[in-house]
Amino acid sequence: MMNVKYTINLVIGDLFKVKNIFIKSIESTIEVIKWFNNHSQALGMLKDVQQMKFAKILCLVLPVLTCWTSHYLSVCHLIAIEIAFKQLLLDSRNTVLLCAGEKADAKGKAQEVINILEGYYFWSDLRRIKDHLEPLAVAANVMQSDNACLDIVVITLVNLCQIYLDPACQFDPAIASAVLASLKKWWANCDQPIFILAIVFNPYICTSFFRAHQPIGKPDDDFHSKFMKYTRRAGDWSDEGMLLTYHKNVAIKKHTFVNLINFTPSGPTASAPRGKQALIEMAMQILSITPNSAPTEHIFSQFGVKHTKHRNRTHPDKIRKEVLVKSDTTSKYGLPPRHKWKFGDDDSDNDNTHVMDVPSSGPSDTLTSPSSSALLPHPGQLNFASIAAEIIQEAQQGSESCPQPTIITTQPQPLTNISLTLKDLFYYPTPSDASSASATALTEYWRIGEQGLNNESEFQDFMNNDTFASST
């Protein structure tokens, strides 16, 4: 089973193949951010305009991660202060130009940045980039979660299909076709049966997520009776029997979603028939799968903090226990709030920088946990063109390594992955079906992904503000 963390990267690679203008616009965005961050007088003027217009200051986030979502967030930050840029150039265009200094090449670079900001299509192109990439950025946030189990992966992919199929979104037809074709290609080459079972074994969804006349049809008559009762929500498998409403209300109070592996259907399981217990164990095994490396990467990062080159006498087993206890505590109670350093009693009066609180609890803890050190600028960062080229190459290699299966026999064949397409297999609710189980599942996890992306944006703004304040 492939690491789904990179699934969205492959989709982005296919998208960049058909829309090269996105790469050019994002590179222009980075040039603007770099120039203003390197010229304190121009940056100070921009901050003054923000304070006057918005009564708060947002930083220009310079992307340093070799990840396209970091560049997407930089575009979003730039769009958020579009009015401030336009007002600055309207009032003080010549002053901004003089901030570059006396050298001809420096003046030329300043003029180039101003030309970018005054470009006729620059801001409209950035808004198009944001609109077209936002669903994929949310999906990437969900996919890299520690809790991105198989059912959440399928729900996220179905959500993407619904969004890019919706004519009301007014996506570029070439982009929508590229995204849908890439999703179809990934679904055709994944282990579909286990993903489908993960959806079925989610008691909040069960079979409501599938079309009434989908290709796989109904189970055979000799299928296990317990499974049939489960699909019909009968007996111990009813909503009341599994306490679904109770678990949902508890999750809402904690501002998270229901972790399905933390509860099993109510009833005396010790004396239950073997078939029921086997079905429960099978469901728990499938729902426990996290098809990405995010949890492992987080744990090993904590190992590195605890067990360093100069502090290495603690036994690895003890380090492991300490890290697991810390991770469990953080997941339950969140991180303690981090406050900006104060170097004097008067700093708070003179500081106009708008600093966000680091998110300490809620859905974002399970969906994002960015590293603060990775957000600090460094001189050796890659430009976006090289990052986009690498993503496109990965997408191309993914296409070549996963050829479509061919059927060369004339004998009757069972349904293949090609037959079970995302479009034909799953039910896509309409606005009138907003209360259906399918619509609830689609919107619930998507909202959590959006919240995680917003928290990541706030975290980047916090770190950049904190770095700026510490250096002044």
Q: Report the 3 state secondary structure along 220-285.
A: CCCCCHHHHHHHCCCHHHCCCCCCHHHHHHHHHHCCCCCCHHHCCCCCCHHHCCHHHHHHHHHHHH
CB distance 187 to 424 below 8 Å: no
Residue 458: which of 23, 59, 147, 67 has the closest Cα? 59
Q: Compute the chain's Rg from CA coordinates.
A: 26
Cβ atoms of 287 and 202 within 8 Å: the answer is: yes
DSSP state of 426: B
CB contact at 8 A, 22 and 210: no
User: For residue 181, which amino acid is it?
Assistant: A
Average pLDDT estimate for 405-425: 52
Amino acid 378: pLDDT: 46
pLDDT given at position 122: 92
DSSP tag of 432: G
Of 298-312, 366-380, 454-468, least confident by mean pLDDT is 366-380
The string of DSSP codes covering 381-396 is PPPHHHHHHHHHHHHH
Looking at the chain, the whole-number percentage of residues with pLDDT higher than 70 is 66
The per-residue pLDDT for 338 is 61
Please give the single-letter amino acid code of residue 301: S
Structure tokens at 28: 């222009």
Confidence check: pLDDT of 211 > 90 = no
Q: What is the per-residue pLDDT for 222?
A: 36
Task: Name the pLDDT band for 234 (thresholds 50, 70, 90).
Answer: confident
Residue 416 pLDDT exceeds 70: no
List the chain domain ranges: 4-198+317-405+414-471
Question: Of 405 and 180, which is predicted with more confidence?
Answer: 180
Among 20-29, 289-298, 367-376, 380-389, top mean pLDDT goes to 20-29
Higher pLDDT, 340 or 258: 258
Q: Hey, which of 39-53, 58-72, 391-405 has the most confident mean pLDDT?
A: 39-53
What pLDDT is stored for residue 2 in this prediction?
55
Q: What's the distance, CA 53 to chain centroid? A: 31
Number of H helices, E strands in the chain: 20, 0
Cβ burial 30-48 (10 Å sphere, 16+ → b, else e): bebbbbbbebeebbebbbe
107 φ, ψ (degrees, to nearest 5)? -65, -40
- Distance (Å, rounded) from C-alpha 457 to C-alpha 447? 15
210 phi, psi to nearest 5 deg: -105, 150
* Number of residues that make up the chain: 472
Q: Which residue has the higher pLDDT, 68 or 52?
A: 52
Name, in order, each residue with C-beta under 8 angstroms of 224's C-beta and a sequence gap of 6 or more.
275, 279
Q: Rounded to an integer, what is the distance from CA 43 to the centroid of its chain?
A: 30
CA distance 204 to 200: 9
Q: What is the mean pLDDT of residues 246-255?
A: 80
Angle (deg, nearest 10), helices 150-165 and 173-188: 150
Q: Which residue has the higher pLDDT, 283 or 278?
A: 283
122-128-129 Cα angle (round to 5): 90
> Is residue 285 over pLDDT 50?
yes
The one-letter amino acid code at 29 reads: T
| More confident of the two residues 38 and 193 | 38
pLDDT of 100-135, one tens digit each?
A: 888 888 889 999 999 999 988 899 999 999 999 999
Percent of the chain with pLDDT over 90: 11
CA neighbor of 383 nearest in space, from 149, 173, 70, 145: 70
Residues 335-351: tens digit of each pLDDT: 666 655 554 444 444 44
The pLDDT value given to residue 15? 85
For residue range 143-165, what is the model confidence (pLDDT) as tens digits? 877 777 888 888 888 889 888 98
